Amino acid sequence: MKKAFFFSMDAFFAVMIFTLVLLSVYSFFINVQELRQQYFYSEDLLDIFTTTKMEELNQLDDGNYLGQLDDLGVIDRDLTVMEQMVTLTNQGYPEYSRWIFLNLTSGLVGDRYGLGFDIGFESIFESERNVTALVARQRFVSGMD
């Protein structure tokens, strides 16, 4: 009789442990954030930078800032935005790249998302947010003369 009682208790504890493991695995997958939306945001931002030409940015130039940079010979309007930003950063003008980046992304990305943008090892922009999930996108763009 004692053997049957201990066997039943062992089986009961084994079922309880198995159930707890299944519940903990299930609850882990419920609490994990899905990064699909962040992936689409990051991909769309890179698409904007790699397909938009500098000459198309005249509508964003409220203070004629691009015109001033163009007069200085810093802007090449035939390049895409990404190529121009890489070129400006390589020429030692990362602040101009930052200005272009901020003007293109203002209002596009919600406040709940952090955002960072690097060219090579140069950080062009990084928002002041503590991130709990990270989506990184990268593309090869040549901007060397």
Rounded Cα distance between 23 and 77, Å, is 58
Quickly tell me which residue has 């991909």 as its tokens: 43
> Contact at 8 Å (CB) between 38 and 110?
no
Domain boundaries, the chain: 1-32, 36-126
Per DSSP, the three-state class of 123 is strand
Task: Give residue-wise pLDDT tens across range 114-144.
Answer: 788 888 888 888 877 676 666 677 777 665 5
- What's the pLDDT score for residue 18? 94
Task: Give residue-wise pLDDT tens across range 25-63.
Answer: 887 766 656 667 777 878 888 888 888 888 887 666 666
- What's the pLDDT score for residue 118? 85
Rounded Cα distance between 89 and 91, Å, is 5
Binned at pLDDT 50, 70 and 90, residue 19 comes out as very high
Mean local confidence (pLDDT), 3-27: 86
Residue in 105, 133, 140 with CA at minimum distance from that of residue 37: 133
Task: Give residue-wise pLDDT tens across range 66-120.
Answer: 777 777 778 888 888 888 888 888 888 888 888 888 877 877 777 777 788 888 8
